[in-house]
Amino acid sequence: MEETSCNIIRFVRNKDPSRRTEAVVFDSCSCVKIEPTGSEGRYSIGFYTIRIVGGLVEIRDNNDNLLFREIEFKTQKDRAMWSHVLVEDARLYGFGGKDGPLDKRKWRRIVLRNTDPTMRYRSPEADPLYLNIPFYIMAKKGYAVGVYIDSPSYMEVHIDKKKGVITVEKIGTDLDVYIILGSSVKEVLDGYVKITGKPYMPPLWVLGFHQSKWSYKSEEEVMFIAKKFREYNIPCDAIHLDIDYMDGFKPFTWHPGRFPNPKHMIEQLHSMGFKVVVIVDPYIKIDDRDKLFLEGINKDYFVKDKKGGIFVARGWPGKSAMPNFLREEVRKWWGELYLRFYREYGVDGFKNDMNEPSTETRLRSYLGLGVKPKNMVFCRNGECLEIEKVGNIYALLECMGVYSTLRKTGRRFFILSRSGFAGIQRYSANWTGDIWSTWRHIRASVSMLLNMSLSGLFFIGADIGGFFPPFKKTNRKLYLRWIQLGVFYPFMRAHYAKARPPQEPWCFGKEALEIARRYIELRYSLLPYIYSLFRRAHIDGELIFRPLFYDFPYDEKAYDIDDQFMFGPSILVAPILHRKDQREIYLPGGYWLDYWSGEVYSGPKSISYTADLSIIPIFVRDGGILVFQEPQRYVGEKKVEKYDILVFSKERAGEFVIYEDDGISYDFERGIYTETKIMASPTQIQIKILHRGYEGVQHLRLRIFMEMKPKEVILDDSKYRFSYHDRWLEIETTKTNHEIRIEI
């Protein structure tokens, strides 16, 4: 056992503790190591007491409250079984991308095996899905304990609700567990991020709107879509190219007939303000004339089968070999291919798909002709491991290789990954895969994304409008409700499958186009707020898309809400997730400002709210501060001249740090950024420059919600001009240290 930080305790069985997976970045060298003599012992660490009795661990706090207790550990053939107590009334969250209710205590069995569920995804019971993480949080009011199992092997978790026991059954006899103790989910997630790393800081354009389809099939079609966005003045930053841009679906190629001049096309798109994201699948066509295949064969870079030959997958290009990302040199090789593709054609981002790994093309899997991955064998340093021992880490290692190679350019890229593992937050965004165009799935997207957040993923989204089924168009109402919700996904992309009627924002009639435009514009107006949230995530591991109990840990009811969320600290979003325009909304304690009507509510209370199709219910928290800018058609279209800062501080004080940098390079790591803290209370606002390393926006317009007209506004000891209209006090000032007093 090892003490790694005062609230993280690691214990290792049947494994050399110096071995860690690539998911772990925590360097505990400076930490105290405790070597238990035999399997008995008692240790005091910070606020906690750890007892080991009969080889089993028990952790209590200073007041002797039980926080964590093991019940059993045993090995059987090549498996380990481990049980511990699930404290009464504690909810259970985590495990990665999971459908179904947010509280996983309601589940009986959870499977951790990265897989492509294909059409099974339609059912809420489909488990596992693409992205699984052996990390979970047990939480209730005043109590939160996290468990991270550092193993890439397949696992099953059984929950005995009645007895209050969790049993983990894993492949391999080792068990390497980090227990993270805290009084809130926030503290536990802090600990988890310490272990597996902070989310990466994306370039600013990535936070704009992305439009995607499987596939825009030719240069003409891509240009048509791009022009429509500009013609209709709908902001959009990225167009995604799906598998049909490739020649015979071979990675890093272009189809000569459909995309005869990709470099020129990308230049044109860039000049219109678009970025280009291309899909990459880890399938290399088995073909003796194919250069990439020959190189991989000669260097022995491919995944093997159990007999020592190449594992033959059925990928998009047909019979395919798959790179063995467990080896560092293969990751480098793969990364270099991306880099070359960028240098040659100027693409701006990559979508790493089918990296569970999915070893069968979709069509084959529907027809039941798929090749199952169970025969895959991954060799490195003379050791060969079957997929069930390492499979869950494949996508993480792929993204790790791609990210580190692209980083050398000094430019921030965009990587989107379907699968993943603990630590994937350091390299890529993730989405929820092939979600359906149904009311059930728009609803599921909220609880799934909340659960992904609680699994340490920050940069997440779902296919806006829904991806499947083929042949059928999403209905207009669902599309609009989804666009409205998507404004508040950390990653905002519309994407849909082949053989569906067109589903771009202008395909649902004039009124729908106006509504969609208005909401995409809202996203662009909110970019300074959103970018600042990403900075907080990057620096402090603070969640962006978060459950109500993250901000209201003492509100018992908040733990059960999974159809509303907080978007950063200031905005509560209660999306409409069904045909009806009415819904119940739970507002936790304190005042809430209805963003649209200006009505002030006082929580805790549930309200019934009717939102016609032009409205998604959003509320500003008391003490909430939002930062807006003029919407643009794409990031960087015009110089941003002014921030509009909305302040709602009725009773509670609040603060928000605005973050600015160049949005594209890594210069921020050398201090080239600016942080401006806005602190607000009902009668005072302070602007404080915390760090000035980048010029950014100078002009600030404060819009302060005040029920009564103030008598005077004092800025830095002098009377200052202001305007007051319809409960909004407006003050124009500059981005320097200021003290503003409001006399009422």
> Which helix or strand (DSSP H or E) is residue 335 part of?
helix 328-345
Distances (CA, A) of 361 to 303, 366, 482, 554: 17, 9, 28, 47
> Of 275, 277, 294, which is closest to residue 285 (Cα–Cα)?
294
Find the shortest distance in angstroms from Cβ 417 to ligand GLC.
11
CB nearer ligand GLC, residue 99 or residue 242? 242
Find the shortest distance in angstroms from Cβ 467 to ligand GLC.
6
CB nearer ligand GLC, residue 205 or residue 316? 316
**Contact (CB, 8 A) for 729 and 714:** no
CB nearer ligand GLC, residue 490 or residue 663? 490
Which structure tokens are listed for 296? 């991989």
Amino acid at 506: W
CB nearer ligand GLC, residue 241 or residue 687? 241
CB nearer ligand GLC, residue 279 or residue 321? 279
Angle at which helices 510-525 and 527-540 pack, to 10 degrees?
50
Q: Which of 70, 116, 174, 356 is catalytic?
A: 356
CB count in 10 Å sphere of residue 190: 18
DSSP track, 503-522:
-SGGGG-HHHHHHHHHHHHH
Instruction: Report the residue closest to ligand GLC, judged by CB.
Output: 214
* Rounded (5°) CA angle 105-109-112: 105
Q: Which of 176, 237, 360, 434 is catalytic?
A: 434
Q: Which of 99, 150, 176, 353 is catalytic?
A: 353
**Residue whose structure tokens are 């290789």:** 401
CB nearer ligand GLC, residue 21 or residue 430? 430
> Which helix or strand (DSSP H or E) is residue 126 part of?
none
Find the shortest distance in angstroms from Cβ 243 to ligand GLC.
4
C-alpha dihedral, 162 to 163 to 165 to 170, nearest 10° = -80
> Which helix or strand (DSSP H or E) is residue 268 part of?
helix 262-271
**Residue whose structure tokens are 């303000």:** 273
Find the shortest distance in angstroms from Cβ 116 to ligand GLC.
8
> Which helix or strand (DSSP H or E) is residue 339 part of?
helix 328-345
DSSP track, 639-684:
---EEEEEEE-SSS-EEEEEEE--SSBSGGGGT--EEEEEEEETTE
434 is catalytic: yes
**Contact (CB, 8 A) for 191 and 5:** yes
For residues 341 and 338, what is the distance between their CA atoms, to the nearest angstrom?
5
Report 349-378 residues binding ligand GLC (CB under 6 A): 353, 362
279 binds ligand GLC (CB under 6 A): yes
CB nearer ligand GLC, residue 218 or residue 268? 218
281 is catalytic: no
Which structure tokens are listed for 110? 């959870």
CB nearer ligand GLC, residue 146 or residue 262? 262
Which stretches does DSSP call E strand in 552-661?
A: 565-567, 571-573, 582-594, 600-610, 618-621, 624-628, 642-648, 654-660
CB nearer ligand GLC, residue 107 or residue 214? 214
Find the shortest distance in angstroms from Cβ 489 to ligand GLC.
15
CB count in 10 Å sphere of residue 53: 13
How many residues line the site for ligand GLC (CB under 6 A)?
Answer: 10
CB nearer ligand GLC, residue 275 or residue 362? 362
493 binds ligand GLC (CB under 6 A): no
For residues 559 and 631, what is the distance between their CA atoms, to the nearest angstrom?
35
Starting at the earlier edge strand, list the strands of the sheet with 728-734: 624-628, 642-648, 699-705, 728-734, 723-725
Contacts of 364 (CB under 8 A, 6+ apart): 314, 370, 371
SS (H, E, C) 218-254: CHHHHHHHHHHHHHCCCCCCEEEECHHHCECCECCCC
Say whether 266 sits in a helix, a strand or coil: helix
Report 301-360 residues binding ligand GLC (CB under 6 A): 353
Report 205-244 residues binding ligand GLC (CB under 6 A): 214, 242-243
> Of 724, 665, 729, 658, which is closest to residue 202 (Cα–Cα)?
665
Find the shortest distance in angstroms from Cβ 730 to ligand GLC.
45
Which structure tokens are listed for 612? 């016609």
Find the shortest distance in angstroms from Cβ 280 to ligand GLC.
10
434 binds ligand GLC (CB under 6 A): yes
CB nearer ligand GLC, residue 10 or residue 495? 495
651 is catalytic: no
Quick note: the x/- pattern for ligand GLC over 239-258, rule CB under 6 A, is ---xx---------------
Residue positions annotated with a catalytic role:
353, 356, 434
Binding site for ligand GLC (CB under 6 A): 214, 242-243, 279, 353, 362, 418, 433-434, 495
